[in-house]
Each structure stands twice: as structure tokens, then as C-alpha cells.
Amino acid sequence: MKRVGLAGWPVKHSRSPLIHGHWIEAHGIAARYDLLPVPPEDAAAFFADLDGAGLAGLNVTVPHKLAAARAVRVDEIGARLGSTNLLWRAADGWHGTSSDGLGFTRSLDADAPRWRDAGTALVVGAGGAAIAAADALAAAGLAVVVANRSADRAEALARQIGGRAVAWDEVPAALHGIGLLVNATTLGMDGNPALPLDLAPLPAGAIVTDLVYNPLETPLLAAARARGLAAVDGLGMLLHQASEAFERWFGVRPAVTPELRAKVVATL
Ligand code: NDP
């Protein structure tokens, strides 16, 4: 029985056991996916002895993505971001990558494939999710503009990915000419106010995507649909980064199906 799981603090609200459990059953694999709450003070010791925990693979979430990257051999993306959310055990030891960017672009490929021709993307936010999304968009050849409430973080992210930062109050004006708008802030999540943005200046063919998936239909996505724009929710990113993890651990790429989506949506 292979043991994989999610290390973070806290982890109890994660949908990952449901998602991986669905695929483990569908593929008849002898494995289990455990939630592993690791308090910050125990992180260094935990990542130093993953074999001792009997693990074959691991997802890592807040606040341990940086500590994990320091503890394993990271690939090019993990090194670029200094962060990892996906670890796997190979013959020569533990390796890590950051699969959020890949999950993000695969979700767009599935639901709005013309995003690759969007030209310029505007990423709103500069936290962990924004960094992964902006890095993936820049790597795909899009021009990336970054805006964040705290301007210094937007500027740092823009520098990191070779993009451009705009001030928070200049976002409405920056919407002209944007082919892909990404909300990577926590605004729009249940219990938070919406991202206060009038989408009128966006070009007619623009795509709007929200990394928030709880609720699935954020006020931003509802406004995009009302304007007739393509709208992509954040659940696809969650499912596609999970499929990458599953493939690394078990050697088979599991399908992201409407049935699985419905299972997860039922828990939101
Ligand atoms: P972080 O805490 O790292 O970043 C939060 C971001 O939101 C920062 O840019 C922050 O700005 C901004 N923000 C928070 N409150 C406000 C506010 N009141 N006004 C303006 N901006 C605000 O979070 P993550 O990057 O990890 O996550 C961001 C979102 O992405 C979350 O909703 C998370 O659920 C979602 N997510 C989705 C994933 C998926 O698979 N779909 C994967 C990972 C995350 P500032 O820097 O100024 O504080």
C-alpha cells in the first residue's frame, strides 16, 4: 500500500483526499491519501525525514511550500519560484516541483483554449497563487501585467517574470487591451468582498478566470458572463494540478471528468 498525502497547517478543509480517493478507486491502485497536519515548528524535522513517515509522494500547502523546496531536489520551475507543492520519491531521493502553474494552464487549455493567443494577461494579486499563474503565463509567451494592493509585491513579481506592474488604482484603465484577466487575490471568496472591478473596458474577446473556487461562480465570473465573455472558474486548476501529482506518483494520468467535478462541487 503506497502512502501519499497533503502536508500543511491547517489541512482539514482540503478536497485533495476526495479527488485522489476518486482516482485511486477508479484505477484500482493500492494506495491511500492522508491529511498530514504539520505545525510550523515541526516542519524542518518533518521534511528532513519523509521516508520515516512512510511516504511515496506528497502535496504541500501553506505555510510549508518554501520549507519543502529547501528540503528536496527541485526542478527548474520549483527553483524559479523557490516553492514546491508536489514531492515524489525517486530512486535517487526526493524531488519537488510547483504544479500550480501547470494546473492553471491545463485548466485554461480545457475550458478556454484560445487563451494562448490572448496577447496580454493582467494578473491581479501577488501571493503564492499569483506567482505560479504569472510565471506560467510568461513562460507560455504572454505579456504579463501585474497589479496588487501592496504595490511592492506587484513590482517584485513583475521583475521576477519579466512583466510590468501597474498601480492598484490604475487597474480599470489597464483593462483596455487585456486578453486574459486573472483574479489571484482572495477577493470573491466566501466571506470576502468581491474584486471591485467594472469589466466594461475589456475587449469583446477577453477571457476572465478566477483562481477562487469557493464559491465556484464568483461575482467576477458572473460579471464576465453577463458581458458575454468567456469565464473559467478555479476548480479546474485544483483538479488539473492534482492530476499532475497523481501521474507523478502512480504513473498514470487520471481524467478530470464532469463526474469528479460534480463530486467536489457537492462539498463546496
Ligand atoms: P496569498 O495569501 O498568498 O495572497 C493573497 C492575495 O490576495 C495577495 O495578493 C493579497 O494582496 C490579496 N488580497 C487579500 N485581501 C485583499 C483585499 N482586501 N484587497 C485586495 N487584495 C487583497 O494567497 P494565495 O495566493 O495562496 O491564494 C489566493 C487565492 O487563490 C485564494 O482565494 C486561494 O483559494 C486561490 N487558490 C486557488 C488555487 C486553485 O487551484 N484554484 C490554488 C491556490 C490558491 P496583498 O499582497 O496586498 O496582501
- Catalytic site residue 65? yes
* Residue of minimum CA distance from atom 3 in ligand 1: 127
Instruction: Report which ligand 1 atom has the smallest distance to the Cα of 192.
Output: 18
pLDDT in tens, 46-57: 999 999 999 999
* Residue of minimum CA distance from atom 37 in ligand 1: 211
pLDDT in tens, 55-67: 999 999 999 999 9
Instruction: Give the number of residues written for the chain.
Output: 268
Short-list 133, 126, 120, CA closest to 241: 133
Residues with CB under 6 A from ligand 1: 100, 103, 125-130, 148-150, 153, 184-187, 189, 211-213, 234, 237-238, 241
d(CA 96, CA 112): 29
pLDDT in tens, 2-52: 999 999 999 999 999 999 999 999 999 999 999 999 999 999 999 999 999
d(CA 186, CA 12): 19
Is 115 in contact with 108 (CB distance < 8 Å)?
Answer: yes
* Residue of minimum CA distance from atom 31 in ligand 1: 186
* Dist. CA 157 → ligand 1 center (Å): 14
Express as a percent the part of the chain with pLDDT over 90: 100
pTM of the model as a whole: 0.96
